[in-house]
Amino acid sequence: MLKNKTAVVTGGSRGIGYAIVKKFLENGANVALFGSRQETVEKAIAKLKEENPEYPVIGLWPNLNDLASVTEAFDKVKETFGSLDILANNAGVSSSTSLYDYKPGEFEKVMNLNVNAVFTCAHSVAPIMREQGGGVIINTSSMVSIYGQPSGSAYPASKFAVNGLTKSLARELGKDKIRVNAVAPGIINTDMVAALPESMIAPLVARVPLGRIGQPEDIANAYLFLASDLASYVTGEILSVDGAAMT
């Protein structure tokens, strides 16, 4: 579905991001896996190469809040693969700290990665995509961008902002044939959720009408659809993938 396309996936070394990287590779894309640290990126690349030595994948670790660093990385991707067609803005950090316990800088840390980095990456990639005649930007939102959450207000606030960026950039960049969408995952079986005791997992499952927690591949499948030509007339959407989870 993505043959001859080149994708960048931020936060691609584990969890949902790694699943997106793998799904894109399985569907014929060249992929640049971006992570926060060299060692985690290289470990993820080695794991992918163990599965298929022929996977066209490279790893980079730019500072996503630094425009020059991001631009240099994107230029490297285009130099390596010849184009940059898909940007998956997946890197992010969660928060569950009560308002009463917030420490100085914590809110800013969440916003820097979850919002500012999304904007910086979009700002850097848009001219490349416009010059190529189009492209796709997909942002990772969250179910809490719709419902909020009872603690850790920085996280839902950041994801509300991601939704706003998504819808606004879709309207602004449509004339340049750049589609912009977001995926809003529900409760997904990432490392963080897997580490929870069964006593905490059961109530989470009870809130999902489909009767199960989502898997990273469920989110990767949504990304694949939005990145592909099957979604050629889909832009400005926040696609919930949450099993109709009830708050």
pLDDT of residue 203: 85
Is residue 92 within 8 Å of 12, Cβ to Cβ?
no
pLDDT of residue 202: 85
Is residue 124 a part of any domain in this protein? yes
Q: Which of 139, 135, 185, 187 is nearest to 162 (CA)?
A: 139
Task: Using the predicted structure, report yes or no on whether residue 193 has a pLDDT greater than 90.
Answer: no
Prediction pTM value: 0.95
* Cα 33 from Cα 78, distance rounded (Å): 13
Tell me, what amino acid is at 239?
L
pLDDT of residue 179: 98
Span 110-164, pLDDT tens digits: 999 999 999 999 999 999 999 999 999 999 999 999 989 888 999 999 999 999 9
Is residue 80 a part of any domain in this protein? yes
Task: Using the predicted structure, report yes or no on whether residue 88 has a pLDDT greater than 90.
Answer: yes
Could you give the strand order of the β-sheet that contains 57-60, starting from the edge strand earlier in sequence?
Answer: 57-60, 30-34, 6-9, 86-89, 135-140, 178-185, 238-241
Is residue 1 a part of any domain in this protein? no
pLDDT of residue 194: 76
Is residue 247 a part of any domain in this protein? no
CATH of the domain at 82: 3.40.50.720
* Full domain range(s) for residue 101: 6-240
| Count: domains in the chain | 1
Span 211-227, pLDDT tens digits: 999 999 999 999 999 99
Is residue 27 a part of any domain in this protein? yes
In the residue annotation, 233 being an active-site residue is answered as no
Catalytic residue among 18, 55, 155, 223: 155
